[in-house]
A and B are shown apart, each in its own frame.
Chain A
Amino acid sequence: MTLAAPRRAVVLGGNRIPFARSDSAYKKASNQDMLTAALDGLVDRFELAGERLGDIVAGAVLKHSRDFNLTRECVLGSRLAPETPAYDIQQACGTGLEAAILVANKIAFGQIEVGVAGGVDTTSDAPLALNEDLRAILLDANRERSTQGRLKQLLRVRPQHLAPAIPRNEEPRTGLSMGEHQARTAAEWGISREAQDELAMRSHLNLAAAYERGFQDDLVTPYLGLERDQNLRPDSSMEKLAKLRPVFGGADGTMTPGNSTPLSDGAAVALLASEEWAKARGITPLASFIDAETAAVDYVDGREGLLMAPAYAVPRLLERNGLTLQDFDLYEIHEAFASQVLSTLAAWEDPVFCTQRLAREEPLGAIDRSKLNVNGSSLAAGHPFAATGGRIVTNLAKALHERGGGRGLISICAAGGQGVVAILEA
């Protein structure tokens, strides 16, 4: 028996619901509601009702324990055939893109013909956990055999035990929030407030323009009264951004609510298939999923920045594909924070970083900024953690197709010092 020779996986399109700001339009929507809505929109768009697809892969970063089979439950709630298998993955903000890698790989190896990759997150309907001490008491009570014994354990409960454990946006090993980590990296790389605000403004203006010219029409399905991303500020300006106070890095920090992504809710999915499957359906592929790489850095001792892993993943991906950083027509660098994008670009221009940490002969160099996030990115759209990958894959595939071909690079940083990157070609 021989292995099937790898073949090309292509991106056919995708669907997402508009992203909402936390505790706003989607405050009552669960992860399951939103991901199901995104899936059903995709079903409508590609006439998939009743179809059995190869795999649905998705995940959520903030997940209720009852949602252990979230994606499969969404499939059952959608109009896809109930015989469609599904599984959950979780790689923080890299979830959506990693899901696309998994689906593309199965397609490439001929194990499936078509699959969906995506993700969902809600910071509104967040999973509150029992207070840790209360949980221990309840488990102790459960282990008792007699009613008396149980009562004895339960009498240990005190009022302070009613305070729930709230999911926290901090790295367990450093106790620092992602924003504080990035504030250090930004300071090290000397990323100015002005440069961050400018990137944020361009993100808003680019996304607004993309909506205006109808680019998002076949990518976004209205949901719960929202037609566009709630965070989008079409009238964003340097003056307005300059008024915001820093939220990370202390009083003279450079990172504000304007140049950092807000907590947000939403879901996004992308449809991938073999070329044969697409042809049989009469669907024109938008782009091919060429290759991907995931990297991780040791940020715990402070030697490297928490969100710098993409700076390592991209050179490895370029090396494997015989490409330079300049060999791309479009770049999609996820804007977790404007300073994350700018720190990454600065590192690629730095001789020390490139020779010592990447073991290259010379720097990767600068990119043409006019090719970066041309239809806006997370600063404008918002960033429901696991949903971002699906949004970016779909956006880039369509943008490459729209310009009549070309090559695009995706870079997404993630908590835990990880980074997921990929190449698409049309």
Chain B
Amino acid sequence: MDKYTQLVNTSLGKRVAKQVGLPKPVPLKRHVPGAPVVDGKVLVGGAPGGRLATPIAQVLAAAGADVATPLRPDLRAAAAEAGLDASPWTPKASVDHRYAALVFDATGIAGSVQLEELHAFFHPTIRQVKTCGRAIVLGTPPESATKPGERVAQRALEGFTRATGKEIGRGATVQLIYVEPGAEDEIAGTLRFFLSPRSAFVSGQVVRIVGRKEAAGLASDFDWEQPLAGKVALVTGASRGIGAAIASTLARDGAHVVGLDVPALEEDLNAVAAGIGGSALALDITDPDAPRAIAAHLKKEHRGVDVVVHNAGITRDRTLGRMDADRWNAVISVNLSSIERITDALIAGGSRAVLNERGRIVCVSSISGIAGNAGQTNYATSKAGVIGIVNAYAPEVAKRGATINAVAPGFIETQMTAKVPLPIREAGRRMSSLSQGGLPIDVAEAIAWFASPATGGVNGNVVRVCGQSLLGA
């Protein structure tokens, strides 16, 4: 917790902040192994005619959530069928209750007039959301809508969730999940992630879940505490900061992690690998032989890889007029070109590829790549290029049941950001809906979500881990 957040959460600090109108960040609740997905009551509503009542109820029942639903026959029947002991709810009842999460199935909204369903559900409840609570809207991707009116209304949801994210306050987050028709059974991993404290620093995001011809279907005894049990994960840039957090988070989720970093950081890398029962691979990813060496190592030692996290990245900041070609090229090479080359090496060879069937590739982009940032033309170019990689490779890897997605971190509290001058650092922290910087674990949790076998329907997405930063929003 940064000093301002500590100060503003003292009783005096709260009073002063209120008087002066300062940002009021609250300490975010984060995931603790063994803790329930959601701690408190989840209110589930929906527009009539929606198609997600049953899948939502099933996810919540499996998560052991305490649920309430309006007394609409379709919602009650869905809850009953899922074995969910849902309390009845009416707008009047909300006065006395506090909700850990509000979940709304908006797929039934087929025209702009019906958007009033959003108001009818959230108006009496939004102020009843607990600290660090959640509001989640599920819709139909506009491009999948069958009629123009539906497309308009579904596109409108984005404005609603983004604006609600800016209003909700007290550490609560708001998301929009677009679920393609046919992908109803693929929502579990994503809905759980956004309900849980794992998504503490993610807000105002839009995620698309697509249907797959051969949906893997989770085993009935799927272990949500160890989703990556038996999997092998490669994490580049794993020796420090966010990379080390990613490595330990994937290990926590059951994966054997192969940590990769440059030989100069081999000592740190070995320490990280030893701490999580993983292994280390010291090499420079910009080396022309690196892709082949990585692929060979993974094939030989692990018979392939299930999760690849392209986290390694560098900054060489200068304004463009003062930036020499070396600074430019170094950043592009590490942050962008090497990802392309390594990915190509891992997916080459069809069924004999190093990346296993239903593999997961996760890239680390940046808010800079979306919004741009003065002094970072090279970095922003590379990170926008990473989004291009996600777009370009998604259809290709989908053929093998694999996915490729990216996280785009905003202001994360690391050694790198600790060196940023205070005024800029403070601006970076406060200019967001959550009014604070994120932690490396927040980025790692989002990556672990993309990496999970339960997230097969999520492909080609870029999700910001930025506390809904104002930059590039």
- Point out residues on A near B: beta carbons under 8 Å: 184, 187-190, 249-250, 252, 254, 303, 346, 350-357
Contacts and interface: CB of A to CB of B under 8 A. Distances in A.
Contacts of B69: 352
A356 B90 contact: no
B348 interface: no
Contacts of B326: none
Contact of A353 (B77, B88, B96): B88
Given A187-B95, A187-B96, A346-B71, A352 B90 contact: no
12 contacts: A184-B93, A184-B96, A187-B96, A188-B89, A188-B90, A189-B88, A190-B88, A190-B93, A303-B87, A352-B76, A354-B80, A355-B80
Nearest to A362: B80
A352 B95 contact: no
B85 interface: yes
B88 A356 contact: no
Nearest to B57: A352
Given A184-B96, A352-B76, 5 more contacts: A188-B88, A350-B71, A350-B88, A356-B79, A357-B85
B93 A351 contact: no
Interface in B84-124: 84-90, 92-93, 95-96
Given A189-B71, A190-B71, A346-B71, A352 B88 contact: yes
Nearest to B61: A356
B83 interface: yes
B71 A252 contact: no
Interface in B52-76: 69, 71, 73, 76
B93 A188 contact: yes
B84 A356 contact: yes
A250 B83 CA distance: 34
Nearest to A180: B96
B80 A250 contact: no
A356 B78 CA distance: 12
A189 B79 CA distance: 16
Interface residues of B, number: 19
Between A184, A188, A190, A252, the greatest number of chain B beta carbons within 10 A of the residue's beta carbon is seen for A188
A352 B79 contact: yes
A254 B95 CA distance: 14
Contacts of A354: 80
Nearest to A355: B80
B56 to A, nearest CB: 14
Contacts of A184: 93, 96
A192 to B, nearest CB: 9
Contacts of B90: 187-190
B6 to A, nearest CB: 34
Given A252-B92, A346-B71, A352-B69, A188 B77 contact: no
Contacts of A190: 71, 88, 90, 92-93
A352 B84 contact: yes
Contacts of A250: 95
B268 to A, nearest CB: 49
Contacts of A351: 73, 76-77, 79-80
A252 B91 CA distance: 12
A354 B77 CA distance: 11
Contacts of B79: 351-352, 356
Contacts of A254: 92
Given A187-B96, A190-B88, A356 B83 contact: yes
A375 B154 CA distance: 54
A187 to B, nearest CB: 4
B275 to A, nearest CB: 41
A338 to B, nearest CB: 16
A346 B76 CA distance: 12
A184 B79 CA distance: 21
Contacts of B86: 352, 356
A308 to B, nearest CB: 11
A275 to B, nearest CB: 44
Contacts of A357: 85
A181 B77 CA distance: 27
Contact of A188 (B76, B80, B84, B87): B87
A289 B155 CA distance: 64
Interface string B29-60: 00000000000000000000000000000000
Nearest to A190: B90
A356 B93 contact: no
B73, B77, B83, B88 — most chain A CB neighbours (10 Å): B88
Interface in B301-317: none
A188 B41 CA distance: 14
A352 B92 contact: no
Contacts of A356: 79-80, 83-86
Contacts of B77: 351
A351 B81 CA distance: 9
Contacts of B95: 187, 250
A232 B86 CA distance: 39
A24 B83 CA distance: 52
A376 to B, nearest CB: 28
Interface in B103-159: none
A186 to B, nearest CB: 8
Nearest to B75: A352
Contacts of A352: 69, 76, 79-80, 84-86, 88
Contacts of B85: 352, 356-357
B79 to A, nearest CB: 5
Complex A-B, nearest 3 residue pairs according to Cβ-Cβ distance, in ascending order = A356-B85, A190-B90, A351-B80
A189 B95 CA distance: 14
A190 B77 CA distance: 17
A352 B80 CA distance: 4
Interface string B332-352: 000000000000000000000
A249 B83 CA distance: 31
Contacts of A189: 71, 88, 90
A6 to B, nearest CB: 37
Contacts of B83: 355-356
A355 B77 CA distance: 10
A250 B93 CA distance: 12
A352 B75 CA distance: 9
Contacts of B89: 188
B53 to A, nearest CB: 12
Nearest to B66: A303
Nearest to B70: A190
Nearest to B89: A188
A352 B92 CA distance: 20
B175 to A, nearest CB: 26
Interface string B154-197: 00000000000000000000000000000000000000000000
B54 to A, nearest CB: 13
A254 B90 CA distance: 13
A303 B71 CA distance: 17
A8 B140 CA distance: 63
A304 B330 CA distance: 64
A357 B92 CA distance: 23
A188 B86 CA distance: 11
Contacts of B73: 351
Contacts of A249: 92
B248 to A, nearest CB: 37
A254 B87 CA distance: 20
A103 B79 CA distance: 43
Contacts of A187: 90, 92-93, 95-96
